[in-house]
């Protein structure tokens, strides 16, 4: 189990005066963390003052940049070996932090999966199920919670992905996909979340939902482009066969319609682009995990 003195807790906050004080106080009562960092993302209220009074280390953005930008700032200045991120709205309980950090190592990323009595709005639950299913298919890994902001990470690992962080609410999606596709060890720990004490969610279903899908596709294109190019090329090839068959049926003789030629050519080009993208991707993917632990375990067992 990781010692609390090695853990930096990073909390992005925007207009969270009503909750940030109790969140910081709850964290301080739970354990002696290396530090509690609150990133005030250009709040219009007293979020920074309340957080500092409660005992947090406060960083301030001069204007609102977004949740992902706040997380990036907090992680960059964190000094602990393990970084825990959580929301400022009081929904995450500090008691789960030890359960997350206990799995590091051997895991590099541990996500608090909201599978215990989570009661979100029906349309958000439906959208989250779609995102999880889509991301699981693309990564070939079962993802129990794609967008949970409550997670623990090895700082030395997540630092390599900070340039990929989007400005808005897609940073959890980015880290989940990037860690999985880069070959890191990822685990999910079931957690329950509290009801929001004050305010309302700043995530907008349609506006941010499109970003989630874009981020998923972006991560796959960066680390495993053939997962997208091959199915698309196969679909175009199948449509080409269908167009060819329809042309023969209509003409009553062996012909190759222009539509079939176009679809076959498009499918071939997509496949060739996919193979080229895969070659480029394979030269960029670098694993920064700690494999010495596995080597030590193997030598001890031997």
State the residue range of the domain holding 275. Answer: 226-284
> Residue 302 falls within a domain, yes or no?
no
Residue 186 tokens, joined: 């990822």
Shared domain check, 246 and 212: no
Q: Which residues contact 53 (CB under 8 A, 6 or more apart)?
A: 21
From first to last of the 302 residues of the chain, give the pLDDT tens digit: 578 889 999 999 998 898 899 999 999 998 889 999 999 998 998 889 999 999 899 999 999 888 888 999 999 999 999 999 998 888 888 889 999 999 988 899 999 988 755 555 555 566 667 777 777 777 778 888 888 889 999 998 898 888 888 777 678 888 888 888 788 899 999 988 776 555 555 555 555 556 667 767 776 777 778 888 888 999 999 999 999 998 888 888 888 888 899 999 999 999 888 888 877 766 655 545 554 444 444 444 44
Give burial (CB, 10 Å; 0-12/13-18/19+) of 39: buried
Alpha helices in the chain (DSSP H): 17-30, 47-54, 67-77, 97-101, 122-139, 155-158, 171-181, 205-223, 226-251, 258-284, 292-301
Shared domain check, 31 and 61: yes
Phi, psi of 296 (to 5 degrees): -65, -40
Give Cα separations from 24 to 28, 36, 44, 59, 246 (angstroms): 6, 7, 19, 14, 67
Supply the DSSP string of 129-166, one letter for each residue.
Answer: HHHHHHHHHHHTS--S-SS---EEEEHHHHGGGGGG--
Between CA 28 and CA 257 the distance in angstroms is 71
Shared domain check, 217 and 236: no
Phi, psi of 35 (to 5 degrees): -170, 155
CA atoms within 13 A on the CB side of 149: 25
> Residue 45 falls within a domain, yes or no?
yes
Shared domain check, 273 and 163: no
Q: Which residues contact 270 (CB under 8 A, 6 or more apart)?
A: 229, 232, 233, 236
- Torsion 192-34-185-109 (CA) sign: positive
Residue 113 near residue 144, CB atoms below 8 Å:
yes
Residue 13 near residue 78, CB atoms below 8 Å:
no
Between CA 6 and CA 197 the distance in angstroms is 29
Shared domain check, 130 and 59: yes
Shared domain check, 116 and 248: no
Shared domain check, 100 and 82: yes
Number of domains the chain contains: 2
């Amino acid at each position: 189990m990781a010692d609390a003195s090695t853990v930096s807790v990073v909390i992005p906050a925007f207009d969270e005066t009503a909750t940030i004080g109790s969140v910081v106080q709850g964290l301080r009562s739970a354990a002696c963390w290396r530090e509690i960092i609150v990133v005030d993302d250009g709040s219009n209220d007293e979020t920074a003052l309340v957080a500092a009074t409660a005992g947090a280390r406060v960083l301030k953005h001069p204007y609102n940049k977004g949740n992902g930008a706040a997380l990036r700032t907090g992680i960059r200045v964190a000094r602990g070996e393990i970084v825990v991120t959580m929301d400022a709205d009081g929904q995450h309980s500090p008691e789960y932090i030890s359960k997350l950090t206990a799995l590091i190592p051997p895991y590099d990323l541990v996500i608090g999966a909201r599978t215990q009595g989570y009661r979100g709005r029906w349309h958000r639950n439906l959208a989250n199920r779609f995102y999880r299913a889509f991301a699981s298919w693309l990564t070939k890994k079962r993802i129990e919670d794609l967008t949970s902001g409550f997670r623990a990470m090895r700082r030395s690992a997540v630092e390599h992905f900070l340039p990929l962080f989007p400005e808005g609410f897609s940073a959890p999606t980015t880290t989940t996909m990037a860690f999985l596709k880069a070959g890191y060890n990822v685990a999910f720990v079931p957690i329950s979340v509290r009801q929001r004490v004050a305010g309302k969610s700043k995530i907008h279903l349609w506006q941010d939902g499109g970003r989630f899908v874009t981020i998923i596709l972006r991560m796959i294109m960066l680390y495993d482009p053939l997962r997208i190019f091959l199915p698309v090329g196969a679909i175009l090839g199948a449509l080409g066969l269908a167009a060819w068959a329809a042309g023969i049926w209509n003409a009553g003789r062996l012909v190759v319609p222009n539509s079939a030629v176009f679809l076959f050519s498009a499918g071939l080009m997509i496949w060739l682009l996919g193979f080229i993208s895969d070659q480029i991707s394979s030269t960029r993917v670098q694993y920064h995990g700690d494999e010495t632990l596995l080597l030590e375990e193997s030598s001890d067992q031997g």
